[in-house]
Amino acid sequence: MNDENKNEPQDQAVDEEMAREMDGVPEHLREASEDDENSAIEDALAKLRGDLETAMQDVLYARAETQNVRRRLEKDVQDARNYGATSFARDILSVADNLSRALEHVPVELRESEKAKNFIAGIEATQRELEKVFNGNGITRIAAKGMPLDPNQHQAMMEVPTDDAEPGTIVQEMQAGYMIKDRLLRPAMVGVAKKPD
């Protein structure tokens, strides 16, 4: 037996009951009742359509927000990989500065001594290794001497009166500056040319 055939007696019973209820109701009221019923159904459908549209809009907003959160997290992870060592790199720059100062201040007569040559060669090898590690981690030295002053990379410490360079050109580097990837790690401290008085 079909499911449709099972429901037929029930549907018939409902129809008969509705017909009995409507027997005593005048014709004009029956039509009004049917119109009210149709109007109520249309109102309910309109409300359901509105609710569905709102729910679909909410789903779209939730998807967009989820995608934005995912992008931000991916960027944060990438930044952590690229710049996580920034604090350590800043601290180690003083070691690089001290190695450079040590090599600059070795007296000429000491450089000619055989024992000092090995010592100096060791310091130079250490400095080269440190520079290699810097390069491997995206830490690069900022070009300074002979360049125009760039306030995003250089910090002017003094003005040097000179005719040998255009005003605003860096003529002296007091401390090297460094970048880590595309971010400033430490500005170069420089002296900038100015016209003599």
The vertex-12 CA angle with 10 and 14, nearest 5°, equals 70
> Quick one: average pLDDT of 24-41?
66
Greater pLDDT, 181 or 26: 181
115 and 150, same structural domain?
Answer: no
54 and 44, same structural domain?
Answer: yes
pLDDT digits (tens, 9 = 90+) for 49-79: 999 999 999 999 999 999 999 999 999 998 8
Domain-located, residue 8: no
Domain-located, residue 44: yes
178 forms beta bridges with: 141, 186
Decide if 183 contacts 138 (C-beta within 8 A). Answer: no
CA–CA separation, 97 and 113 (whole Å) = 24
Q: Can you read off the two tokens belonging to residue 42?
A: 């249309």
CA–CA separation, 9 and 195 (whole Å) = 109
Domain-located, residue 111: yes
Greater pLDDT, 108 or 91: 91
pTM: 0.61
Token pair 């019973």 in the structure block, residue: 13
Predicted local confidence at residue 19, as pLDDT: 58
92 and 70, same structural domain?
Answer: no
Residue 142 DSSP label: P
Domain-located, residue 7: no
Decide if 178 contacts 140 (C-beta within 8 A). Answer: yes
Predicted local confidence at residue 171, as pLDDT: 95
Domain-located, residue 119: yes
Predicted local confidence at residue 68, as pLDDT: 95
> Quick one: average pLDDT of 173-191?
94
Range of the domain at 79: 26-83
CA–CA separation, 156 and 13 (whole Å) = 97
Predicted local confidence at residue 197, as pLDDT: 79
Q: Dihedral sign, CA of 164, 168, 174, 176?
A: negative
CA–CA separation, 67 and 32 (whole Å) = 52
Q: Can you read off the two tokens belonging to residue 74?
A: 């991916």
For 149, residues 6+ apart whose C-beta sits below 8 A from its C-beta are 156, 168, 169, 170, 190, 192
pLDDT digits (tens, 9 = 90+) for 110-130: 777 877 888 888 889 999 999
pLDDT digits (tens, 9 = 90+) for 134-180: 998 899 999 999 999 999 999 999 999 998 889 999 999 999 999 99
> Quick one: average pLDDT of 40-50?
90
> Quick one: average pLDDT of 92-105?
89
Predicted local confidence at residue 1, as pLDDT: 47
> Quick one: average pLDDT of 7-13?
62
Number of domains in the chain: 3
